[in-house]
Structure 1
């Protein structure tokens, strides 16, 4: 089925298959429309509509999406449209937007796309925290930090998962995702003030995949410490471009990235589909 996708999608699908993140039976075509689904790590359920090429007819693309979702037996899925600042899917990706809406998707959250480039100032680590690699800690300890970070989170996805699946399920899924990310094992760290966990930061090979502070330590700027640690880790590894994303409504986290020398480079519009 991958052979029906043009380059570069075919090669990207083949690479994802080798990593256990997609399968030929997760790829569908109908006329000029094509869609494939993607999972964040091996043996995980698909969570993203990936490589969606709607073609010129939104109605045909909607039909393909509906058929593929029914065949996959999914209960929920997301699809992201990334655009430069000032653009909107309704106008600038109209066929894709119409196809998604016609298949029952709804655009529910807008996110900032952020980028730090090599040559920019590397944020200084204030030195207030000590760091321990998450993979060397008991899994239960890291899960506890993730559960606590989710409390009062301004992140929309986290809020949805807490309301539908619960904090423990969300933490377990997040832990599995982060420990399966590309990057050196010691990059994903928990920050401590003495023996008290403050939060964590998880860089992968090109991005700040996750960052968060536990409720009792919020309001003291520790997100700046964690972000400095994550950015410096990647800068010292020679990464030329570090990317990140956060909800537009999550103004404290967005401000922390801007303080650390990141620039807004676009907007991500996240669409959700849930089974009736």
Structure 2
């Protein structure tokens, strides 16, 4: 864990690089660098775009199908690592679903997003983890990409959590996931930390 913009401070950069080098020498390999975000009431609350409709989906098999579709073209390094393992796409989707169930927030909060034509555009999971309210998951199916729907899903997730009384909302994405990083920035989420993940 490093402060936002850690590469800009020579002393902090040296300290982070020293820790990464020690972990690498111990046999670990860098997997991905991530941005950690935190929305607070001091940030603007983004307006819903109205382009998608959101409905709860009680059937885990339907959720799994959407997760498989999302992960079939994912930019997320952890999901890609799971896909490259022996379980492939199925294992990656099931790991995600297990995480959703692990979160102590209600199952009823999970939402599938639909286009005006009634097609599934993606999934958003407002959640609570042990640290508090968070963006549990945002995913757009491949055939709905290119329309900026990740932003719509993030806004819906944020506003839903605020409507449930959240005083902050945490989120994270890989630095290489440019569309999601852009959605967080557009939604007014400041980067509060950067994570260097090793595996």
TM-score (norm 2): 0.86
Q: Does 1:196 align with 2:119?
A: yes
1:258, distance to aligned residue in structure 2 (A):
0.6
Report what 1:269 is aligned to. Answer: 196
From 154, 160, 172, the equivalent of 2:75 is 154
Structure 2 CA distance for partners of 1:189 and 1:107, relative to 1, 3 Å: same
Residue 123 of structure 1: which of 22, 36, 46 is its match?
Answer: 46
Equivalent-residue separation in structure 2 for 1:224 and 1:97 (angstroms): 32
CA distances 1:194-228 after superposition (whole Å, capped 9, x unpaired): 43211011121211121110011011121121111
Flag the structure with larger Rg: 1
Aligned length: 189
Q: Which contiguous aligned blocks of 4+ residues in structure 1 show a shift greater than 6 angstroms?
A: none
Alpha-carbon distance in 1 for matches of 2:77, 2:175? 10
1:227-266 equivalences in 2 (<5 Å): 227-266=154-193
Cα deviation for residue 94 of structure 1 reads 6.5
1:142 aligned onto 2:69: no
In structure 1, runs of 5+ residues without a counterpart are 1-81
In structure 1, C-alpha distance between the alignment counterparts of 2:13 and 2:188, rounded to whole Å:
31
Larger RCO: 1 or 2 (CA < 8 Å, sep 6+): 2
Q: Compute the TM-score of the two structures, normalised by the length of structure 1.
A: 0.64
Q: Determine the structure 2 residue equivalent to 1:169.
A: 91
Q: How does 1:3-42 map to 2 (within 5 A)?
A: none
Distance 1:86 1:258 in 2: 15
Provide the alpha-carbon RMSD of the alignment. Answer: 1.9
Instruction: Confirm or deny: 8 A CA contact 2:151 2:180 kept in the other structure.
Output: no
How many Å separate the matches in 1 of 2:20 and 2:75? 26
Q: Which runs of 5+ in 2 are unaligned?
A: none
